[in-house]
Amino acid sequence: MLKNISISHVWVLDQDQAVDFYVNKLGLEVRSDQNLGFMRWLTVGVPGDMGREILLELPAPPSVDTQAAGQIRELVSKGATGFTVGFTTDNCQKTYEDLLNKGVEITQEPVDRDYGIDVGLRDPFGNHIRIVQMK
């Protein structure tokens, strides 16, 4: 029986730039950064949440073939991959202001919804991210 989600991934086009965004701007921490020879295994996670990690993955072999990698890069760059990852926060307005001050691209200012206060943003590659303060 499955117990939890331990890892998921986000396509990124440059892993060093991804670290700068996900760690220095969003406040995540690097959990693993290993050169496996055939790929760089780079994961990040929310400090204190040791059960889940996000693989910051380049669209390239061995996970996808060269043709698919090109298509993925094009879709990511256009922001056409849809929702990629969601986070929660205790104070959406403060988180929004902090991210705005760090130059993060905000796609939707905080909005009060039935489930909580929600803000939208994009990473430097075009991936859509949501942050919500649950009610």
Contact 42, 54 (CB under 8 A): no
Q: Give pTM, 2 decimals.
A: 0.94
| pLDDT of res. 3 | 83
The answer to whether the bond into 62 is cis (omega within 30° of 0) is yes
Determine the topology of domain 7-134 in CATH. Answer: 2,3-Dihydroxybiphenyl 1,2-Dioxygenase; domain 1 (3.10.180)
Tell me the pLDDT tens digit for each residue of 91-110: 999 999 999 999 999 999 99
For the chain, what are the domain ranges? 7-134
| pLDDT of res. 4 | 86
Strand bridging mode 83-88 / 128-134 = parallel
Question: In DSSP terms, which residues pair with 8 in a beta bridge?
Answer: 54
The average pLDDT across 46-56 equals 94
C-beta contacts of 76-82 below 8 A and 24+ residues apart: 76/11, 76/12, 76/13, 76/125, 76/126, 76/127, 77/13, 77/125, 77/126, 78/126, 79/122, 79/126, 79/127, 79/128, 80/126, 81/11, 81/126, 81/127, 81/128, 82/128
Q: Is residue 2 predicted with pLDDT exceeding 90?
A: no
Here the tokens at position 7 are: 């890892």
Separation of alpha carbons 129 and 107, rounded Å: 9
Tell me the pLDDT tens digit for each residue of 19-49: 999 999 999 999 999 999 999 999 999 999 9
Q: Which residue has the higher pLDDT, 23 or 3?
A: 23
| pLDDT of res. 121 | 97
pLDDT bracket for residue 50 (50, 70, 90): confident
